[in-house]
Each structure stands twice: as C-alpha cells, then as structure tokens.
Chains A and B, each alone.
Chain A
Amino acid sequence: MTETGLQAEALPADPAAVAPERDLFDKFGPLIAERQALLDSGVRDPFGIVMEEVKSPTVAVIKGRETILLGTYNYMGMTFDPDVIAAGKEAFDKFGTGTNGSRALNGTFHDHMEVEQALRDFYGMSGAIVFSTGYQANLGVISAIAGKGEYIILDADSHASIYDGCAMGNAEVVRFRHNSVEDLDKRLGRLPKEPGKLVVLEGVYSMLGDVAPLKDMVAVAKKHGAMVLVDEAHSMGFFGPNGRGVYEDQGLEDQVDFVIGTFSKSVGTVGGFCVSNHSKFEILRFVCRPYIFTASLPPAVVASATASIRKLMNAADKRERLWANTRQLHGGLKQLGFRLPTETPESAIVAVILDDQEQAVRMWHGLLEAGLYVNVARPPATPAGMFLLRCSVCAEHTPEQMAKVVAMFEAAGRETGVIV
C-alpha cells in the first residue's frame, strides 16, 4: 500500500532558468549555533547519551560508568521481568523477527490479537486497537475522529503527539489554559452547538508531573455535549483501583470515551493503543492512516507486552514501592530547597525547576558525572518557558538508591549554586 502522490506526466517543454541552489538547512542556523555554544562550554550533550550496557531497569553503563537511571519511563520496572522476556523469546522462535507489513494487510499475527485481548481485560472495555507507537495512536485517533467542521478542544500543555494529531486532521482546533476547568467551560460555551466536539486531556502531564482535575473537566465536556479522549501514558499501572489511570482514580470509567496509552512506559516495550467502549470503535482500523500505512509491531514486542500487561493487573507490591520511592525523592528534594512544580508528589514524575538552560545543563552534567541520569527538558517541550531536570521514578529503585540520588542532587545543587 504505497501512495506515490501526483506525478508530472512529462517535463515542461520550455523549462525555466534554474535559480541558484538554496540550502534548505539555513533556517536551522540559530539552533545549530545554540547547540554548538552549549557543547563549547565543555558540558556533555544532554541529547546525545548512549547506554553502552543496561544492567537492570534502574542501572546502565554510560561512558564506561555505572549510572543510576532516573530519567526513563520504566515506571513499573517491567523491562527485565523474566516472564516478559520469556514471552518475547518464545515469539521470536515461533513467529520470527518481524511482520513485514501493515496491521491492515499481512501484519496481524496471533500475538497482536492476544495483546489487544489483554488490553480489553486490563481496561474492562469492549474495544482495543494497537498502534506501532503511542505517538501514532494519538496521531491516528485524533486526526481520524474529528473531521472538517468539527472541533478539537485541547489543553495548552498537551503532548506533541496530540498537537500533531490536530495538525494532521481537518478539524478546528481550540486551546484552553492548562488544567483550567473554567477556561475549558468558557471556550466550549462559545462554540456553535451543532458540530461534533472532542475534548482531549491527559491524566498526568509529563513535563511537570501534575495531574489533571479530570472529574470536573469531563463533567464540563459532557455538559457541552463533547466526547472525551484521555491520554493515560504516564499513569498506567499505578493510578486507580485497577491501575487503569487517573480517569479510573477519579471514578470516570463510564464517562471517558477513549483512552490512549502506550507500551513504552509502564509496560516496558514499545507500542501504543486506544481502548474504548464505543459500539463502532472497530471502524478506526479503516480510517486511521498511522494504523494502516505503517508496519505493525514485531511479534516479540507484542508478546512481551501481553505478558507485562497481564502481570500489571496484579502488581500491588510494585505499585506501593513506586509511590514510596516517589515520596522519598519528592520529599528529599523539597527539603533540600529545590524548586518543585507540585507541592506533593502527584505522579511518578518529579521535576526540578532551574533558572535557565545554562544552569540546567550544568546541574545535569554534575549529576551525570556523579553517576545519575535524569532528563533535561526545555522549551518548547516545557510549559511557560521553563528549564527542568525531570526525574521519573521506577518501582525497582531501592530506598538506598533513592537516598543516594537525593545526596547526589544535594552535592550537584550546591556545586552549581542552585541551592545554598
């Protein structure tokens, strides 16, 4: 299924004189210069980290040094689970390395059906569709379900995949101020009543790790007759009685129309999905271009995901450890005087606010040299022009590792003058 687009049938008889070639990369000049200035300051490249060896969900070797990982989305530590690995190996042996095709044609194997069943069981929903990444799940579902003349209403801090899903589709796009129920209500109230509307929310916002007031937002959306899609990428496994996410935690199971999720965080492989109770949900397989026009996930990946999802249904101990670790980290950093965007640990993401890029990268560099990896986040990925060091916690971190992490933050923070 390849689309080659429109092609000229013949060259024009009288071709125009050729203009001097312009380098299309000229527009990247300022970014190239900014990166060069950063690297010239002698710090390591925050966006060029290579894991030479990965020893566990929480430890890798970077530049020959054993490093604690506190910047992965391996929340539940499933990447080295023996059952998850065994399931992948078995699928490799039985089904080979890849599918060589789209889900819509030859790319649906036994294990793709199994993983969709595991998702239906996990979420207690009638429909589940697996995409090749979480990014593609948002891209596909959002661009497909809101059409021309209809409206998408999204939080200003939405993930790039949500914005890109809007850009790919033909709907009218309206933004509201981050997590503001009142702003959402006002904007919905100004829209024409008749056209279909989709409100797009996230359970946990990944930059600051703050949780959405979904209960009030969904109530407002329903009041205005909108359907609701919630991205629960950063909450699977440890929010709500069954680990379904923030929407379950806030008691909204019968009110959210679509839930988007990913395998690349708590599940520990790669892939994305949408689950729903909508009676016509299956038609999405025929209208989502990022589902149709890309290769399906390799069988080993989905077999591992199935094993992982089923284990996450009974992961109370991991869940408890994850929250305990998060409380220890958040409390430790707060006590040291670091600026944190949330007063309490709302999710497994703990962000530290820095003054500017230079300070953020110096601090990051100090931590890495000490043997700790965290994420650097900068605008435009971050809200309000913030520079952040983002920590994401894993259930498999030990209390000893967390104590060490806090001590490393203290040393690097004093070294760089971030704390006194």
Chain B
Amino acid sequence: MSDRDSIFETVKAQIEPFNKKGVTVTEATTFQGDLEWDSLTVMDFVAAVEDEFDIIITMNMQAEIETVGQLADAVAKLKN
C-alpha cells in the first residue's frame, strides 16, 4: 500500500465515529453534501485528523477541502 493509500484508509477509519448516516466512504464522498456534517462535527473531526498525523490543517485550508480524497491529498502534502 502506498503512503497515499494508507493515509486514505486512516482518514476513512477516522470518519467512522462521525458517520452517523452510515455512508459508504469513497474518494469522492463530500463532507457537507454526503456526510451532512455541521460545522461542529467538522471541528471535532479535523482535530482528530490533526492529532493522528501530527499536522495542522488551518481553517483557510479546510475551506478548500470538500471531498475525502482532497483531505487525503492535503494530509499527504502536510506530512512532508
């Protein structure tokens, strides 16, 4: 498994506790449209991802991220 793949799998696992609707998570799944997360859920989830990878995803960056795939890309970039 490539680094990007393993990041995606980790992110996917981290979505599960917040995945109240039981949505099947793919690269194209959107946080707002598909998962229907409100801003508070986003805050909790982002904090969990930040702590898992020991990174900071600024609110400015978060505004650009709509899908799970985009988040995995951003994490991969931030880890380097």
- B-contacting residues of A (Cβ < 8 Å)? 151, 156, 166, 172-177, 183, 186-187, 190-191, 379-380, 383-385
Q: How would you classify the secondary structure of chain A's contact residues: helix, strand, loop or mixed?
A: mixed
Give B26-48 as 1s and 0s: 1 = Cβ < 8 Å from A's Cβ atoms: 00000000000011100100110
Cβ-based interface call for B55 (8 A): yes
Residues of B within 8 A of A190 (CB): 50, 54-56
Q: A173-B58, A186-B51, A190-B56 are in contact. Are A380 and B43 (CB under 8 A)?
A: no
B40 near A187: Cβ-Cβ < 8 Å: no
Minimum Cβ distance to chain A for residue B36 (Å): 13
Pairwise interchain contact B38-A385, C-beta atoms closer than 8 A: yes
Can you report 24 residue pairs joining A to B where beta carbons are below 8 Å apart?
Answer: A151-B58, A172-B58, A172-B60, A173-B58, A173-B59, A173-B60, A174-B56, A174-B58, A174-B59, A175-B46, A175-B47, A177-B47, A183-B47, A186-B51, A187-B50, A190-B54, A190-B55, A190-B56, A191-B56, A379-B40, A380-B39, A383-B40, A384-B40, A385-B38
State the Cβ distance, A254 to closest chain B Cβ, in Å.
Answer: 29
Kindly state the separation between the CA atoms of A175 and B58 in the bound complex, as whole angstroms: 8
With A and B bound together, what is the CA distance between A93 and B20 in angstroms?
A: 63
B18 to chain A, nearest CB (A): 13
Nearest A residue (CB) for B59: A173
Interface residue from A151, A175, A186 paired with B43 (Cβ < 8 Å) = A175
Contacts of B59 in A (CB 8 A): 166, 173-175
How many residues on B have C-beta within 8 angstroms of the other chain's C-beta atoms? 14
- Name which residue of chain B comes closest to A177, CB basis: B47
Whole-angstrom distance between the Cβ of A233 and the nearest chain B Cβ? 22
Further pairs besides A156-B43, A174-B56, A183-B47: 12, Cβ < 8 Å: A166-B59, A172-B60, A173-B58, A173-B60, A174-B58, A174-B59, A175-B46, A186-B51, A187-B50, A190-B56, A380-B39, A383-B40
Closest 10 CB pairs of A and B: A173-B59, A172-B58, A190-B56, A156-B43, A174-B58, A174-B56, A172-B60, A173-B58, A385-B40, A177-B47
| A residues less than 8 Å from B58 (CB atoms) | 151, 172-174
Docked Cα-Cα span, A357 to B48, in Å, equals 29
- Cα distance, A151 to B56, chains bound together (Å): 11
Complex interface: chain A residues within 8 A of B40 (CB): 379-380, 383-385
Contacts of A191 in B (CB 8 A): 56
Interface string of B8-34 (1 = CB under 8 A from A): 000000000000000000000000000
Kindly list chain A residues whose C-beta atoms are within 8 Å of the C-beta of B38: 379-380, 385
Chain B residue, CB-CB nearest to A186: B51
Q: How far is the CA of A380 from the CA of B43 in the complex (A)?
A: 12
How many Å from the CB of A34 to the closest CB on chain B? 14
A50 CB → nearest B CB, Å:
31
With both chains docked as a complex, state the minimum distance between the C-beta of B63 and any C-beta of chain A, in angstroms: 10
Q: Chain B contacts of A379 at CB under 8 A? A: 38, 40
Smallest beta-carbon distance A259→chain B, Å: 24
List residues of chain A with CB within 8 A of the CB of B56.
174, 187, 190-191
Residues from chain B with a CB closer than 8 A to the CB of A174 are 56, 58-59
User: Chain B CB within 10 Å — which of A177, A183, A190, A383 has the most?
Assistant: A190
Point out which of B40, B46, B56, B59 has the most chain A C-beta atoms below 10 A from its C-beta. B56
What A residues does B46 contact at CB under 8 A? Answer: 175
Closest to A178 in B: B43
Residues of B within 8 A of A183 (CB): 47
Once the chains are docked, how many angstroms separate the CA of A278 from the CA of B47? 33
Q: Could you say which residues of chain B place their CB within 8 Å of the CB of A173?
A: 58-60
Whole-angstrom distance between the alpha carbons of A359 and B51 in the complex?
36
A380 to B37 Cα, complex, angstroms: 13
Could you tell me the distance between the alpha carbons of A186 and B47 in the complex, rounded to whole angstroms?
11
Most buried by A among B38, B51, B58: B58
* A166 CA / B63 CA spacing, docked (Å): 13
The complex places the Cα of A175 from the Cα of B43 at a distance, in Å, of 8
A284 to B71, CA, bound (A): 37
A160 CB, min distance to chain B CBs, angstroms? 12
Candidate in A174, A176, A379 with the most chain B CB atoms within 10 angstroms: A174
Chain B residue at minimum C-beta to C-beta distance from A386 = B40
Q: How far is the CA of A379 from the CA of B42 in the complex (A)?
A: 14
Interfacial chain A residues near B54, Cβ < 8 Å: 190
Contacts of A176 in B (CB 8 A): 47
In the bound complex, CA of A174 to CA of B56 (Å):
7
Residues of B within 8 A of A380 (CB): 38-40
